[in-house]
Chain A
Amino acid sequence: MTVTELVSYDEALATYDPVMGLEVHVELGTRTKMFCGCSTELGADANSQVCPTCLGLPGALPVVNASGVESAIRIGLALHCEIAEWCRFARKNYFYPDMPKNFQTSQYDEPIAFNGYLDVQLEDGEVFRVEIERAHMEEDTGKSTHVGGATGRIHGASHSLLDYNRAGIPLIEIVTKPIEGAGERAPEVAKAYVAELRELIKALGVSEARMEQGQMRCDVNLSLRPKGQKKFGTRSETKNVNSLRSVERAARFEVQRHAAVLSSGGTIVQETRHFHEEDGSTTSGRVKEEAEDYRYFPEPDLVPVAPSREWVEELRATLPEPPRERRNRLREEWGITEHEMQSVLNAGAVDLIVATIEAGADAASARKWWMGELARSANEAGVEPAALTITPADVARISALVAEGSLNDKLARQTIEGVLAGEGTPDEVVEKRGLAVVSDEGALGTAVDEAIAGNPAIADKIRGGKVAAAGALVGAVMKATRGQADAGRVKELILEKLGVEG
């Protein structure tokens, strides 16, 4: 890897204005591939989900997946796009072993959706509108394994092995118009855009959009122009930037690299670049082929897609509440700050909290458990909170037990621990572990008497009016009851027995 000289980010921004273009590929969650009936299920044996169509064998005829077209239209509508009255597929010709047909079936000058926008909200609440150029339908490629190289990389490999199970899985490519005017916030805007798009895709239910599994991948195109200049500079295309954090880092790195090249009198080469997760840098890939080198032409094996306006309107009626509006609504309903809402979003807990509230919990306790105990457990296990064995209904039940005084916080945590360990429902865990708060006034009274008798000096202080000293006796009682007492009630009893007003 060649060491790239960088200038500082602030220095770069003092002289130059960044322009970005973001291309996001979303793998749809359809049951079958875009042009054939092969399953898209993950984890199958290599080359067990392929057929003559997706292998490009002679004579095979593709037929488009109706759900794939429907998802494309819904994504387009959710991005406020116009939907084409009539559009075709096109062949993008290139020779690379991951594409068995030697062309990718895509769309060229007739995308199904075009001219839209997505409003994204930055962490401080500022809203930035990202204009959408187009969203079009295409298909994924196969998966290569490079053999013989030191680290499974293409360089130094003796040969490569191809699994075509992924070849033909529906992809929607969403392309922004040039993003101008973001200035120093460009990397933040890039990250917020991809994050918002991911939320939108998930809300539409068209894909799980898991970036770590490659279900959503981002290319970051970036150029710099001297401040005040209208004409765009030459861009670089950083490919396959596959996490939100990486999108921000890649944009930032390219700003600094471009500025270094331009400031020293050099020129930017239009090329693809590879992003390196380890240090956030990018390195040169191949010099970009010109569009004409792909020799696009209309796909003769597929007929045009001409969605009727009735169908488009039916699909428009299925759109969910836009995620940003929903978040702002929930934030107000829950009475929390932008920053707290951002944490909930980052933790992947919005829908879980909503479901917990729907199951009867109040907003504060639902958020408290999902963002505290459960976020921690998920983090330790390295999974999304939604993957935990505990359900929103379980959490709502635990909240109810706390609210009615059957559990205190400590016991509630133990109950959660039990549910996570697979010991059953909250009620079963409470029963099996004997976790109910000691509410037997007799037993509690005895414990309080013992605490008073064992700590005469403290008892005297309280009698003398130092109510705050009661904490030490409460602690003693909690210890004696192994935490299974209602601390509030214990305090009341102590003060009562010592004849002090609380």
Chain B
Amino acid sequence: MRGRSPEVLLFTGFAGIATTLFLAWNWAPSVSINAFESPAAQRIFYWHVPSAWAALIAFTVLFVGSTMWFFKRNSLGWKLHVAGSEAGLACGLMVVCSGCIWGSAEWGTPWDWSDVRLNSFGLLTLLAMFLVLGRKSQPDGVETRDTFSTFGMYGFVLVPLTYISTRIWQIRHPGPVGGPGAEGTIDGSMRFVVLFGALAFTLLIAGHMMMSMRITDMEQRLEQAQKKLDEG
């Protein structure tokens, strides 16, 4: 963990996201004006979908880490829990904010309480916020880790719900654009920008999670070292 690979991933991911947004703004084709209320806002999709992909990666890492800590008291598991919750919160906020912007423009309302995917993603983000804020409010210790890893596992039931929601209950949210159950196809250059964005977000989120694990590791070593100093 002492190498610089997290920084490299962060830089590459950030540059990739900037490129994605530039391509989305300048290069991706416009959609039919008749099909959308707000064709320009549709371009939010190039940020919204890749960040949702990154958030699902983060929440999966959170679940794996929570399970590893809860059942095995594994130190790596706790680091994954911390990394997954922080990255999940950041990406979840990006997804929810971009969704609200698009919803405002297209649906005329930033939030629809009857849309299952919107709500399940919002709840995942709130769960990540609970884990991050709650953990920061508590002293580190086995009680804190057990409690928050339990909630990390509870929350994961929302991930498959989020994934299948637009396949089962399509209320307002658009259906999937790729994978099993996808409706129709999208234009080749649009698909390229989305995939490029997903790759960039994956690199960024991997860099963030590696960085978070490194910070957790260093904080634990610092705590140990300070304890030794306290003991004289």
The answer to whether A and B assemble together is no
B interface vs A, CB < 8 Å? none
Query: A-side interface residues toward B, CB under 8 Å?
Result: none
